[in-house]
């Protein structure tokens, strides 16, 4: 037994012990609770704090367990389950234990007061025999079940306030997506990404809404519907599940270095359609027809909703970009201050947007993108590193927390419309239940929605694109329609009505299914669709010989709005907002000489030459002098490769950049770790199989 | 006008704009509040969320403003005000604006229900015309003022739940203190530090308690006391204000590179006495005599309190060390996972301790120290960097947040026993008020407490110490008795009674005074006390010719318990818990061969030689072969210096280490930034004045 194994065992035993301890503690805790009804308030607040600590500890332990298992998976090169899928499984297990393993006596602390108050104030002062106690409103309790809902204090405690997701966990995830966007490929495919994100999401929302409405109408006639479910609810559901979140797929793409354009399309779409979906759902919520019957068609209300959508989206966009631009730091000498300022400015974007009734998440996304484009260039190298690492960590923790919470909530959420045991039982006994029906039809409607989004749009886009989006790309995008954190956060935000609760439960199932099935199936699908892998994103000057994107990019190919924007950005914005680029004195007309001198950073003169380097991560496409390469398959031993390194020849100081030409077929090789040692000199050339160690950075073959 | 100045102006204008916007928004917000009493609950929750965002935004803006000003100060080499003092000033200003500038109409949302309930349950369900609303208990409202306390919704909103300080803001500060402790010098002075921290804090607590009791008795006879104030309250106050927090002083020490032993003594004491004070205050709270009169002397209760102190302290210590030891990561290949795991384990220490009724802050402190000692060596270089930077950032943000909140709360806290206007007025009209009296006597009692702690203990310690603590060191330690975050957090934790509220208000004033006066006066005092500055902490092998510590350290000097501990740690613990040190197979007796082989990391064999390097940051003292140097004063031009570099000769691979001999007198030179350019070759040798640029790392003079 190796030292390593002992280490893991030791860690796992430790964690399990803490787990058991926590449960025992929580159990005993709850038993105590009932016995001490008359102890002082202060003592009770202390108890409540201890309980909160114990609850939070459960999640921390879940995350720790997830991290250890991810490490084991990565170490053993096991790739069928992504960390988020794993987090969900652990969450499910703990949920089951909490639900069925820990028996907590019924909480008798709740007192129902039937004093007739004419309103439900935010703060309530209760006079208990001369002493005043302050109570704050938590929300309305479902009238369907009445006070009996609160049957399990323990489970209720584990359930977080849904606003936590929107205000604490979602912002770092979304910000990181914006901040880590590979902007060069994003801007290159901007038109298609915008089309998928805006038109695609709206199409998907309406298709799903219509299908669901048909389904709900059917259920109503059959009599299987236990409550109201209006057309707006259907549309809302459509908007919620239109937010795709293919992190699982993208993580694999990143590891395998899948074709950069496919990556850019999918990543860009998923980032933006989160923003579209959240604004869409809030504008559907704002659809309030004037009359008594609030669920009829009303043109005015529809136009108002559309106005809300446009207003909120553009407002959030403007706010995000404005704060992003404002953060141009001059604190280069003090990386700690710089990082702190950067963090605070990003956070204040979110808060400012929320305070203005905009959408903080959308503002933060565009703030991240703007900061990556401008502010990042002004940061000291230390701060660049710090900010990247900080947000990477926050993103990682938040994401895994949300997914493990999802797993947990399937069992601990008290107001699920369906009994979770039923889902397992439905496989055995085919009971006629509206929900199993809904669930299946949802899956159908979601795939329909996705299909109605991807295929027609791709067809239309291909009419205009020089580099077509191949049918295999379309199939992969169709397949990668996972739902994740955003869908979950949107659906848990409001679970007050029957319809919303049904949506929530269904959404949870959709997330589980898509993350496990689609996430696990990514590598086989990539292989089946013969998607090019092993592409170095900095050096994709080769042409894909398969039916992927047939690329003939030149400077002239890009549409004029983007060229105009690029020129404006390069000539005026970059020099104004960063220390790089040509000085404004050179680009502005002579009449603005004084102004230009004031606005140009002194460093800009020194750094004039530096911009070319930055461009590699930027808008500029270096494809003008692209060379054609033959494609190399893995099985070929006689490699016919030609190389060129235009960047290297243009910028001698930029470091070594080698062109990597890798195979087009995906070789799945879950090999023994001992095999990852470099082959002896007599073995075939190392680039014959770039996937010997797929989890480390693929080797660059020096040609 | 330089570009720089424009930048700052621009940033400040932007922030001021946001500020103004925030205020206007908050104001209009509150006006709206009154008009919409009957709008749905959901809408109100949204409003409340917006308000929360706006409130939080105020703090973010405060922090941003603080950061910008700190940068300006550092940039302009202005050192009389530390960032925390600055944060307080900004907090005060915003507090004044909120209090007097923003007029919010009286909130009419509060409804007092006088239905007689026999208890105050944690959750209340209120039946409002058939719909159930859930309310959670927030706490008891003071019966002194009754429901009228809630007069200003806006100010109440800005006031955080005190538990936020204990559960969110304090842990990173304390953890960072433990993690960044310079362990070599800490362990060298461990005896003295423990004496100051334990005995000193207890002495200080009782001296302050007794003085305050005398003062309170006097006030009672004069009839100036508006409520109960028992002896336990006095002791509690003593415990609260015994937690010194000389960050301001230490920051200056760090910049000036003050004598490492003085630094170690002060830092070690302040870190540990926070822990002692928090446990002390909780054990004083646990003093509950059996009889009806709960404020008499009771030996059993006293012993019980003492038991609580010992139990909680040792329990938290054990828990912290245990989790710290458990975090030995094997995830070196994945820095992100490693950092996340490290962060989670540290956090779980806190939560676990809180869940076990221990003190999380103390556990986190020892966890940090253990992790710095063991786990840090196991981390990959990337993770070492990441964890340090992450906790540095968290510490920075939390600290400045607490201090700006302190400033804010002086005006926004609703239950201050004194009217803050009175403090200003008391200078003009010498009204006879118990509080002005208390305030002055507090200052006296605190200095008395500090003096009774430092001087007798130093005398006793000097009897046993070979390297005496000089009287100038004692004076500086006496002077550096600042109160900070811990004192504030302890005093705001419970402001339910009259006595507690008076304590809180007084504590606030003490923190302000000590931070501004003592913090601002550090450099003059150092200069006046002729404390050695400019000491390279790695190379302090010289003897101070002044009356500071007369050091004749050798390996034999250290007391035997520490030598035993060092040997045990080096031989068994380090090899077991880290990848460095001699393999266990070499240190354990032969009979344990198999076990030793299992427990030794494979890397330990490779890293066998590495431990010597680590030692430089470790327990081992390299003073055995110390060389004597003559002291050099700044004014001397004919420098008589001899150099030796024992470390360098012993470890050629360790990099260049030059011995720095600097002046003993502090030269205050707040020079023009243009002067910081290196002097021309014809100028006096650069080491004639090491403080030309005191804010950058002092230059190392290559001799």
Helix (H) or strand (E) holding B509: helix B498-513
Q: What's the per-residue H, E or C state across A441-503?
A: HHHHHHHHHHHHHHHHHHHHHHHHCCCCCCHHHHHHHHHCCCECHHHHHHHHCCCCCHHHHHH
The answer to whether A150 faces chain B, any CB pair under 8 Å, is yes
What is the pLDDT at residue A138?
61
User: pTM above the 0.80 mark?
Assistant: no
What is the pLDDT at residue B424?
36
Instruction: Report d(CA B354, CA B64) in Å as an integer.
Output: 32
* A355: nearest CA partner in chain B: B50
Q: Which of A25, A143, A351, A401 to mutate to test the interface with B (most CBs of B within 10 A)?
A: A351
H helix intervals, A223-359: 231-240, 247-256, 260-285, 299-326, 335-355
The answer to whether A115 faces chain B, any CB pair under 8 Å, is yes
Ranges A171-175, A429-433, B458-462, B565-569: which has the least confidence: A429-433
Q: Which of A152, A340, A493, A602 to mutate to test the interface with B (most CBs of B within 10 A)?
A: A340
Cα of B160 vs its chain's centroid, Å: 20
Measured between its terminal Cα atoms, the distance across chain B in Å is 42
The answer to whether B347 faces chain A, any CB pair under 8 Å, is yes
Q: What is the DSSP string of A256-292?
A: HT--HHHHHHHHHHHHHHHHHHHHHHHHHHT---SSS
Is the pLDDT higher at A450 or at B390? B390
CA–CA distances in Å: residue A248 to residues A482, A520, A544, A617: 8, 8, 25, 24
Triad B384, A398, B367: Cα angle to 5°? 40
Within 10 angstroms of residue B237's Cβ, the number of other Cβ atoms is 32
pLDDT in tens, B153-182: 666 666 777 777 888 888 898 899 888 887
Q: How far is A323 from chain B (nearest CA, A)?
A: 9
Residue A255 contacts residue A180 (beta carbons within 8 Å): no
Instruction: Report d(CA B239, CA B245) in Å as an integer.
Output: 14
Q: Examine the pLDDT at B14 and tell me if it is beyond 70.
A: no
User: Contact B355/A124, CB-based, under 8 Å?
Assistant: no
Find the CB nearest A57 among B50, B147, B355.
Answer: B355
Beta-strand runs (E) in A142-225: none
User: Contact A136/B134, CB-based, under 8 Å?
Assistant: no
What is the pLDDT at residue A602?
56
pLDDT in tens, B70-109: 888 887 777 677 778 888 888 888 888 887 776 655 444 4
Q: Examine the pLDDT at A246 and tell me if it is beyond 50.
A: yes
User: Contact B127/A109, CB-based, under 8 Å?
Assistant: no
| Mean pLDDT across chain A | 66
Closest by Cα among A385, A375, A340 to A614:
A375
The answer to whether B141 faces chain A, any CB pair under 8 Å, is yes
What is the pLDDT at residue A194?
85
Q: What is the ipTM of this complex?
A: 0.72
- Residue found by looking up tokens 């000291």 in the block: A380
* A347: nearest CA partner in chain B: B60
pLDDT in tens, A470-508: 777 777 777 777 788 888 888 888 777 777 777 788 888
Q: How far is A626 from chain B (nearest CA, A)?
A: 35
pLDDT in tens, B429-449: 222 233 334 444 455 555 666
User: Contact A64/B341, CB-based, under 8 Å?
Assistant: yes
Residues B492-512, mean pLDDT to the nearest whole number: 79
Within 10 angstroms of residue B106's Cβ, the number of other Cβ atoms is 11
pLDDT in tens, B139-151: 555 444 444 444 4
Helix (H) or strand (E) holding A193: helix A190-194
- Dihedral angle computed from the Cα positions of residues A31, A36, A42 and A45, in that order, rounded to the nearest 10 degrees: 20
User: Contact B115/A112, CB-based, under 8 Å?
Assistant: no
Chain B, 600 to 659: residues with Cβ < 8 Å from chain A are 600-602
Instruction: Report d(CA B435, CA B440) in Å as an integer.
Output: 8
Instruction: Report d(CA A229, CA A417) in Å as an integer.
Output: 13
The answer to whether A125 faces chain B, any CB pair under 8 Å, is yes
Triad B376, B382, B387: Cα angle to 5°? 55
Find the CB nearest B64 among A121, A341, A392.
Answer: A341
CA–CA distances in Å: residue B455 to residues A440, A552, B141, B186, B659: 79, 82, 44, 20, 33
Is the pLDDT higher at B415 or at B257? B257
| Mean pLDDT across chain B | 66
- Dihedral angle computed from the Cα positions of residues A517, A520, A521 and A524, in that order, rounded to the nearest 10 degrees: -170
Question: Which residues are paired to B135 by β-bridges?
Answer: A137, B124
Is the pLDDT higher at A442 or at A283? A283
Question: Which residues are paired to A124 by β-bridges?
Answer: A135, B111
Helix (H) or strand (E) holding A134: strand A131-141
Residue A130 contacts residue B138 (beta carbons within 8 Å): no
Chain B, 56 to 95: residues with Cβ < 8 Å from chain A are 56-57, 60-61, 63-64, 67-68, 70-71, 74-75
List CB contacts (< 8 A) between B146 and chain A: 132
List CB contacts (< 8 A) between B601 and chain A: 3
What is the pLDDT at residue A544?
41
The pairing of strands B111-113 and A111-113 is: unpaired
pLDDT in tens, A271-292: 888 888 888 888 887 776 655 5
pLDDT in tens, A627-639: 233 332 223 333 3
């Amino acid at each position: 037994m190796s030292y390593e194994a002992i280490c893991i065992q030791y860690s796992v035993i430790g964690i399990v012990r803490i787990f058991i301890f926590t449960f025992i503690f929580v159990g005993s805790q709850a038993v105590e609770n009932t016995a001490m009804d008359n102890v002082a308030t202060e003592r009770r607040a202390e108890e409540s704090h201890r309980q909160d600590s114990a609850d939070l500890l459960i999640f921390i332990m879940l995350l720790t367990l997830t991290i250890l298992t991810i490490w084991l998976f990565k170490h053993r090169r096991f790739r069928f389950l992504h960390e988020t899928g794993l987090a969900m499984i652990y969450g499910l297990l703990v949920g089951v234990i909490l639900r069925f393993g820990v028996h907590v006596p019924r909480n008798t602390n709740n007192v129902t007061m039937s004093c007739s108050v004419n309103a439900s104030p935010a703060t309530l002062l209760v006079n208990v025999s001369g002493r005043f106690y302050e109570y704050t409103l938590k929300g309305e309790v479902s009238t369907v079940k009445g006070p009996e809902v609160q049957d399990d204090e323990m489970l209720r405690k584990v359930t977080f306030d849904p606003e936590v997701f929107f205000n604490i966990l979602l912002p770092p995830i979304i910000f990181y997506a914006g901040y880590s966007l590979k902007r060069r490929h994003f801007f290159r495919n901007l038109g298609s990404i915008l089309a998928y994100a805006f038109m695609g999401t709206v199409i998907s929302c309406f298709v799903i809404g219509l299908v669901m409405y048909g389904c709900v109408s059917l259920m109503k006639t059959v009599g299987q519907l236990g409550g109201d479910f209006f057309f707006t609810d259907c549309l809302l559901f459509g908007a919620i599940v239109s937010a795709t979140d293919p992190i699982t797929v993208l993580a694999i793409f990143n590891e395998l270095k899948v074709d950069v354009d496919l990556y850019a399309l999918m990543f860009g779409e998923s980032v933006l359609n989160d923003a579209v979906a959240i604004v869409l759902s809030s504008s559907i919520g704002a659809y309030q027809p004037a009359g008594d019957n609030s669920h009829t068609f009303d043109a005015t209300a529809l136009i108002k909703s559309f106005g809300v959508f446009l207003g909120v989206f553009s407002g959030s966009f403007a706010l995000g970009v404005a704060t992003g631009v404002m953060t141009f730091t001059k604190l280069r000498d003090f990386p700690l201050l710089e990082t702190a300022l950067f963090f605070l400015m990003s956070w204040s974007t979110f808060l400012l947007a929320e305070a203005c009734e905009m959408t903080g998440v959308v503002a933060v996304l565009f703030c991240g993108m703007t900061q990556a484009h401008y502010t990042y260039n002004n940061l000291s190298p230390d701060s660049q590193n710090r900010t990247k690492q900080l947000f990477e960590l926050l993103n990682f923790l938040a994401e895994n927390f949300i997914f493990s919470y999802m797993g947990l909530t399937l069992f601990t959420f008290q107001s699920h419309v369906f009994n979770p045991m039923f889902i397992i039982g439905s496989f055995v006994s085919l009971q006629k239940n509206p929900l199993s029906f809904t669930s299946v039809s949802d899956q159908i409607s979601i795939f329909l929605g996705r299909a109605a989004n991807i295929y027609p749009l791709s067809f239309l886009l291909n009419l205009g694109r020089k580099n077509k989006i191949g049918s295999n790309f379309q199939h992969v995008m169709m397949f990668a329609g996972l739902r994740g954190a955003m869908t979950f956060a949107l659906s848990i935000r409001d679970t007050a009505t029957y319809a919303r609760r049904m949506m929530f439960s269904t959404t949870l199932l959709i997330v589980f299914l898509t993350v496990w099935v689609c996430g696990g199936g990514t590598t086989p699908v990539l292989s089946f669709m013969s998607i090019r892998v092993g592409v170095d994103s900095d050096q994709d000057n080769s042409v894909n010989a398969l039916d992927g994107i047939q690329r003939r990019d030149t400077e002239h190919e890009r549409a004029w709005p983007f060229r105009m924007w690029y020129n404006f950005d390069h000539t005026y914005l970059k020099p104004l907002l960063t220390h790089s680029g040509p000085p404004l004195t050179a680009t502005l007309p002579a009449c603005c000489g004084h102004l230009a001198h004031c606005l140009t950073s002194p460093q800009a003169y020194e750094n004039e030459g530096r911009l070319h380097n930055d461009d590699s991560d930027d808008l500029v496409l270096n494809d003008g002098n692209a060379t054609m390469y033959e494609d190399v398959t893995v099985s070929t031993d006689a490699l016919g490769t030609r190389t060129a390194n235009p960047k290297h020849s243009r910028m001698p100081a930029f470091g070594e950049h080698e062109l990597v030409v890798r195979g087009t077929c995906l070789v799945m090789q879950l090999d023994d770790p001992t095999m990852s040692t470099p082959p002896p000199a007599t073995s075939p050339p190392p680039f014959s199989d770039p996937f010997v160690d797929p989890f480390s950075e693929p080797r660059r073959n020096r040609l």
